[in-house]
Chain A
Amino acid sequence: MIYLDNAATSFPKPKETIDFLNDFVLNVGGNPGRSGHALSLAAARSIFEAREKLAALFCVMDSERIIFTQNGTESLNLAILGLLKEKDHVITTSLEHNSVMRPLMFLSKEKGVGISVVQCSPDGNLDVGDIKKLIRKKTKAVVINHGSNIIGKVQPVGEIKKMIGGIALIVDACQTAGSFPVNVEEDNIDILCFSCHKSLYGIQGLGAIYIRNGIELAPLKFGGTGSRSESIEQPMFLPDRYESGTPNTPGIAALLGGLSFIERTGIETIIRRKQDLRQSILSGLSDIPQVVIYGDKDDGNQLPVISFNIEGKLPSEVGYELNKREIYTRVGLHCAPAAHRTIGSFPEGTVRAAPGYFTTDEEIAVFIDAVREIAGKTSAHS
């Protein structure tokens, strides 16, 4: 089996992820911050430590400003729905995922929020000056995909923030978190949204959001926090303001394991390995004449997320053939129809190969051979 769907979720997970999860479920199991007993406290410690490690990874000064959510989508919903008010204006790009586009469309219909979409080139390049041209008096935020889930293109978020000044910068870092340097201080990121089960090596069902001090978001959820229990008002202090109800503590314990793995291995080592994998897939696919690769092949500063098609074949057909060979890619639109329109692959989409840190050179060689073989076969649809 060869797993090349790490942009959807990473697999396999490091041993630390499984060990921490196992230990939590077997030996801890308490509800964090709710009771005074040792197991509740041990659960709270797992969450505290995971927050501290995330803060260190992304250069966040106050770890309480990192909030756990169900997934990257919930983080983006909290950012977008919590920040934008009636008649506000927002700027985004044509490379966004539906987890950005759909809440924005909801706000456009329900609250008259104005949306301007900056058109990126088919290679995913963005002219930062185009954002500036779209700024209006009522522009409240710029929402930007840090790394594309289709072509792995990384956007210059720091440069964008410099240009937009006081307008809030909401960054979708689902693909970059753990795969690319993310520094909220250096890049002056106001809100960072990410999932924890991709390159942070947690398990599914966990995401997080960082909210810069001074930015107030309306909460998506209200309820018990274990704090200020005499009050029926939602607390104002973080992280409790945005974390009502029992959290996914087993998931957070697993994330703590994943973050420990990253610490032990070194984020630079992980990033370098992923860049090498990207290069070897690109060079292997480039040798197959029928293969069309999307995105900027020459830009070495991108994520290991490669979209391609085989001339004369539907991506679904290619995915099916790969699956028969126990090679797992993701085909279609990847929940990002706008991005596929931008790169010119709408409505069929592409085949996406996303290796992970544990992908081996041998696996890449087998994958390339399989694509070559499939490309040489007569299409079932022709």
Chain B
Amino acid sequence: MIYFLIFFTIHDVLKAEKALKGRDVDIELVPVPRNLSSDCGMCIKLRGDLEGIMPYINGIEMDKCVSYDGKEYQFLAHS
């Protein structure tokens, strides 16, 4: 599964990236998909287990969290 983690600011995107750095997770910073948000910035694209990374980024407020199974996007509830 692929997840798009969309934050309010580029500052928070980089903060989340820093929190996940050095851990065994497959993340990439990509432009926010236009169908998911009108933001003109970046978000984190995660390939793998969402639950596994959440403890590391719990303190950073997320705007949207979206899963993508290759066919459909699904907006997920988040803290």
Contact = CB atoms under 8 A, between A and B. Distances in A.
Given A44-B14, A48-B14, A48-B15, A227 B42 contact: no
A36 interface: yes
Nearest to B38: A230
A231 B23 CA distance: 36
A85 interface: no
Interface string A229-246: 110000101111000000
A226 B40 contact: yes
A35 B40 contact: yes
A227 B31 contact: no
A290 to B, nearest CB: 55
Most A-side CB within 10 Å, residue of B11, B30, B38, B39: B11
The binding surface of chain A is classed by DSSP as loop
B20 interface: no
A51 B11 contact: yes
A51 B11 CA distance: 9
A33 interface: yes
Most A-side CB within 10 Å, residue of B9, B14, B32, B42: B9
Interface in A190-241: 225-230, 235, 237-240
Contacts of A228: 8, 38-39
B40 A237 contact: no
Given A36-B31, A41-B29, A64 B12 contact: yes
A150 to B, nearest CB: 36
B71 to A, nearest CB: 24
A226 B42 CA distance: 10
Interface string B5-47: 0001111101100100000000001111000001111100000
The range of chain B's interface size is 10 to 19
Contact of A227 (B18, B29, B41): B41
A35 B41 CA distance: 6
B40 A229 contact: yes
Given A36-B42, A48-B15, A227 B30 contact: no
Given A36-B30, A41-B29, A229 B9 contact: no
The binding surface of chain B is classed by DSSP as mixed
B41 A34 contact: yes
B20 to A, nearest CB: 14
A239 B9 contact: yes
A47 B13 CA distance: 13
B38 A33 contact: no
Nearest to B32: A36
Contacts of A239: 9, 11
A226 B32 CA distance: 12
Most A-side CB within 10 Å, residue of B8, B10, B12, B39: B10
B64 to A, nearest CB: 12
A32 interface: yes
Interface in B40-71: 40-42, 61
B41 A63 contact: no
Contacts of A51: 11
A28 to B, nearest CB: 15
B61 to A, nearest CB: 8
Contact of A34 (B8, B11, B29, B40): B40
Given A35-B40, A226-B10, A227-B8, 16 more contacts: A33-B10, A44-B42, A47-B11, A48-B15, A48-B18, A52-B18, A225-B9, A227-B41, A228-B38, A228-B39, A229-B38, A229-B39, A237-B8, A237-B61, A238-B9, A239-B9
Interface of A: 32-36, 41, 44-45, 47-48, 51-52, 63-64, 225-230, 235, 237-240
Interface of B: 8-12, 14-15, 18, 29-32, 38-42, 61
> Which 5 residue pairs spanning A and B have beta carbons closest together?
A36-B31, A230-B38, A33-B10, A48-B14, A237-B8
